[in-house]
């Protein structure tokens, strides 16, 4: 089922044709900073299923212990809408929280759980996974 993700100002719109192939929340400090929230929702789709509909993006390269990631954010409002991670090279990551008009299903896993905010609890059926490599297995 088609869904669209939008930035805060609405000028950047990304359309996907399927559900994500990898879909999880991440409690790492970088996801907290990227979203300004308690965790990030990372939804990875096959690149061939993602269509950039509109908007003007700026980008930056993030490099950390999980590898390199090129991030694309709206040049007007600053929302990071999507990214390309070196370890998932035929996938595009989209910020799951940006699917507000037609939300994604519940995420399948939770990663970097040692860094989860102490006041936060998630549903019991979300699998705990401790690294991005675990997610792929």
The single residue among 16, 26, 50, 91 that binds Zn ion, judged by CB under 5 A, is 26
Sequence length of the chain is: 137
Q: Which stretch binds Zn ion (CB under 5 A): 46-54, 67-75, 91-99, 120-128?
A: 67-75
- Output the smallest distance, CB 115 to Zn ion, in A: 9
The single residue among 14, 50, 74, 104 that binds Zn ion, judged by CB under 5 A, is 74
Question: What is the Cα–Cα distance from 6 to 4, expressed in whole angstroms?
Answer: 7
Place of tokens 């998932």: 88
Q: Is the Cα torsion angle 87, 93, 97, 102 positive or negative in sign? A: negative
Contact 25, 110 (CB under 8 A): yes
**7 touches Zn ion by CB under 5 A:** yes
- Output the smallest distance, CB 79 to Zn ion, in A: 5
Contact 6, 12 (CB under 8 A): yes
Q: Which residues sit at the interface with Zn ion, rule CB under 5 A?
A: 7, 9, 11, 26, 28, 31, 74, 76-77
């Amino acid at each position: 089922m088609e869904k669209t993700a939008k930035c805060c100002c609405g000028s950047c719109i990304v359309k996907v044709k399927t559900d994500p192939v990898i879909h999880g929340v991440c409690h790492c400090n970088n996801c907290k900073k990227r979203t300004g929230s308690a965790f990030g929702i990372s939804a990875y789709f096959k690149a061939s299923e993602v269509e950039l509909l509109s908007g003007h993006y700026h980008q930056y390269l993030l490099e950390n212990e999980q590898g390199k990631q090129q991030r694309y954010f709206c040049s007007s409002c600053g929302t990071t809408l999507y990214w390309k991670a070196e370890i998932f090279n035929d996938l595009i990551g989209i910020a799951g929280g940006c699917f507000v008009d037609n939300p994604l299903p519940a995420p399948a896993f939770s990663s970097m759980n040692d860094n989860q905010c102490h006041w936060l609890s998630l549903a019991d059926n979300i699998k705990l996974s401790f690294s991005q490599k675990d997610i792929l297995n």
